[in-house]
Amino acid sequence: MPAIAPAFRSLALGCALAVLGSLTLVAPAAANELPVVHLTVQAGHFTPKVVNVPANQKFKLRVLNKGPAVEEFESTDLNREQIVVPGRHIEVYLGPLKPGRYKFFGDFHPDTARGEIVAK
């Protein structure tokens, strides 16, 4: 009977690791299920200028920089600030937002790179 105890412990440890491994895989899959809203920045302008999202729901904002220079997605309303290098994108996790308007801008072109997220 003593020889069974180490085998049982190995089996129990293996099962526990399998369960933990499956829990680790679930977390990223859930994050991928968030709705994705696309925003492009190019030549000192965001497109679209107004982004409509459902209120009270989390979402992922994917900002693509199609321009030749670095830009920044910044919003004091949303407490976010992130650099977007040329030819790349960033993902900004937002929400849930209360109904309202949330302004954003490009820090390198603050006069022209402006927009807002409208949560309805």
Right CATH number for 36-119 from 2.60.40.420, 3.40.50.11720, 3.40.1160.10, 3.40.50.300?
Answer: 2.60.40.420
Name residues whose C-beta falls within 8 Å of residue 98's C-beta, 6 or more positions apart in sequence: 55, 56, 119
The pLDDT score that the predictor gives to residue 115 is 98
Q: Give me the percent of the chain exceeding a pLDDT of 70.
A: 73
| pTM to 2 decimal places | 0.72
Question: Is the distance from CB of 49 to CB of 116 less than 8 angstroms?
Answer: yes
For 6-58, what is each residue's pLDDT tens digit?
A: 544 444 444 443 433 433 333 444 545 899 999 999 999 999 999 999 999 99
Helix (H, G, I), strand (E, B) or coil at 22: helix
